[in-house]
Amino acid sequence: MSDWLTAVGSAHMIIAASLLAAVSGVPLLFRLLSPPAGQRLATILNCLASLLGIAGAVTILFQRSTVTYELAWPLPFGPAMFAIDPLSALFTLPILIVAACCSIYAIGYWPARDNLRKIRKITFFFGMLVSAMLWVVMARSTNLFLFAWEIMAIAAYFVLTTNDFEPEVREAGILYIICTHIGTLCLFALFALLKSATGSFAFPATASLNIDVPIAGAIFVLSLAGFGFKAGIMPLHIWLPSAHANAPSHVSAIMSGVILKIGIYGLLRILSFFDTFPLWWGITVLVLGIVSGIIGVAFAIGQHDIKRLLAYHSIENIGIIAIGIGVAMVGTTNGSPLLVILGMAGALLHVVNHATFKALLFLGAGSIIHSTGTREIDHMGGLLRPMPWTSLLFLVGAVAICGLPPLNGFVSELLIYLGLFNGAVHGDGAGAAVTALAIPGLALIGGLAVACFVKVFGVVFLGVARSQETGNAHESGLCMRIPMALLAVICVAIGVMPLAAAPLLESAATCWHPSAIGNGALGSIAPLGWLSMLAIALVAVSVAAYVMRMRNRADKSVTWGCGYLAPTARMQYTASSFADMLVTLFAGILKPGIHSPNIRTRFPTVSRFASHVPEAVLEKIYLPVLQWANEKLAPLRKLQRGQLHLYILYMLFTLIALLALPQ
């Protein structure tokens, strides 16, 4: 009885967190407080919501309990049902952690006194966005899910387009809203099929749907398309680079770190309804994960805009999560609980990990932009000295996203690797072949990520300043550094103490599907204890090396010029020159635009080289297809004559056709 009361209290804490977040921007919106006071109050409410919600979510995860509610309301499609179970609770953690950090960061990055025209809009819709995401993961009926989903989509649009006076921002917002509503249309069809299969608009219980249902394949495809648009799975990612690049940096952090994961949550929730999966489902998710990971990081390497580069890395990491989900699905098909727990635990841990280190990187990028006034990597350089804290914290995020020890990205990728190896060794047929092929794919993703962040850190922080703005750079304020430091501590903590996260992952994985039960504790399956020892040793060595370097630090000087007596910033590697070999290697996919100087004389005048990697999927595939469709469907516009009686006639014909259909 006491455990049940504790679970109910924990669920109430999460519900209270969602309500606090929803009202956090209301005093500022209605001008009940001055802009600075309203922004501070919103931050306090968001932080309080995060503390309440995180405490409740951790309790639910440890107790492995589920609390269900039913709310009668006058809207159609039955009562609103919502629940909090371990899977919902695990996704609640990154939502609230990142939301609190971004809210604190905004005080320094987006101060109310300097943004009087925009502060009410961004603060109100930021709180609504956080609340809507919490209600999406709690919803257990179609009506409440779609209601919260649409509020989330609209709130994200308004915070994305905060700087709506800029044409690029408006274009990014339009592309985002189009893509998100195409995904929503897929969800309408998905839930209509679920209603026909179950006879109810309430979500079915876990593993209650038989795979032999004739429309099971259609449900899977629609869920992959609808939630894939939100998650940014390749090739449904086309809205993501421009949206993340043009949003305010703390908004980019929550969009990349959290909103994409809501798409992953939706896919996992729909998959949990089925008792098992056809093999082609798991292979499809696995292959999409490999494609998203490799192509996403390849596009990232060719970027010059630091935020667009980080956006493409989000596609890469969504691919890694999809690989873990695919491994778990193959394990369910083959009846292998070991594959299920390793794949799903790795995917769920990477959900949390990516939220933390990607939010850290976007906040770090925001600090750089705030200090230098540019997003162009080639205009930066030498920021290590004027921005030592930002440099260190960005480095922590870079090491984590590359999947290197002793940080959290290494742990989640190792779990996925173990699942892939077990699937390749102990599996059979197509499942074993695909998991075996995914191993070098995941290794290639990691290698390319390391190359990309060596480029970013080297060009941005090392060397000397490349422009006047960079030369005048300064360190960020305390309100911007504290959230980055908190996220960096989480990255280190999970990497050093993965055993502490193991019970939470087991709880969420077994809640997702009962096929994850049967192999004992995750700590006994994966060498998490050895990882802790390795991580502690590496942290100690790193700290000792840093202390020794600080003691023996030489006088400040410019970058060594290989014996040249007058080195300049023009002699340093640029983002283009560093990535040239890899961009050339993937030129068939990236379709880079290269503008070489036309040198015709022995003593040429000043010339310029430039390169650009476009959004090839959007510009080379989607837009030409849409242009062709626009031309071919032009005659149908004649049906739209603006005459009311014709539209009534169209409605009459439609009703007659529907009545004529067999019931």
The letter for the amino acid at 352 is V
Dihedral pair phi/psi, residue 594, rounded to 5°: -115, 125
Q: Higher model confidence: residue 612 or residue 483?
A: 483
Which residue, chain included where needed, has tokens 């499809």?
284
Q: Is the dihedral of CA 349, 355, 361, 367 positive or negative?
A: negative
**Residue 580 clears pLDDT 80, i.e. is over it:** no
Query: Tell me: the pLDDT tens digits for 583-610?
Result: 888 888 888 877 777 777 777 777 676 7
Evaluate the omega torsion of the peptide bond into residue 406 and state whether it is cis, within 30 degrees of 0.
yes
For residues 618 and 114, what is the distance between their CA atoms, to the nearest angstrom? 36
Mean pLDDT of all residues in 81-86: 93
Query: Tell me: the pLDDT tens digits for 321-333?
Result: 999 999 999 999 8
Query: Tell me: the pLDDT tens digits for 522-534?
Result: 878 888 888 888 8
pLDDT-based confidence at residue 553 (cuts at 50, 70, 90): low
Which residue, chain included where needed, has tokens 């190896």?
421
- Of 237, 220, 348, 355, the residue nearest 291 (C-alpha): 237
**Residue 310 clears pLDDT 70, i.e. is over it:** yes
Mean pLDDT of all residues in 116-140: 94
What's the confidence (pLDDT) of residue 15?
93
pLDDT-based confidence at residue 2 (cuts at 50, 70, 90): low
What's the confidence (pLDDT) of residue 382?
83
Q: If you average pLDDT over each of 144-153, 162-171, 549-558, which comes out highest?
A: 144-153
Q: Element (H or E) spanning 163, and its range? A: none
Which residue, chain included where needed, has tokens 């939220």?
355
pLDDT above 70 coverage of the chain, percent: 95
What's the confidence (pLDDT) of residue 527?
85
| Longest distance between any two alpha carbons in the chain, whole Å | 89
For residues 126 and 102, what is the distance between their CA atoms, to the nearest angstrom? 10
The rounded mean pLDDT for the chain is 88
pLDDT-based confidence at residue 221 (cuts at 50, 70, 90): very high
What's the confidence (pLDDT) of residue 554?
54
Q: Higher model confidence: residue 642 or residue 292?
A: 292
Query: Tell me: the pLDDT tens digits for 607-652?
Result: 676 777 888 888 888 888 888 888 888 888 777 777 888 888 889 9
pLDDT-based confidence at residue 378 (cuts at 50, 70, 90): confident
Q: Is the dihedral of CA 351, 356, 359, 361 positive or negative?
A: negative
The letter for the amino acid at 331 is G
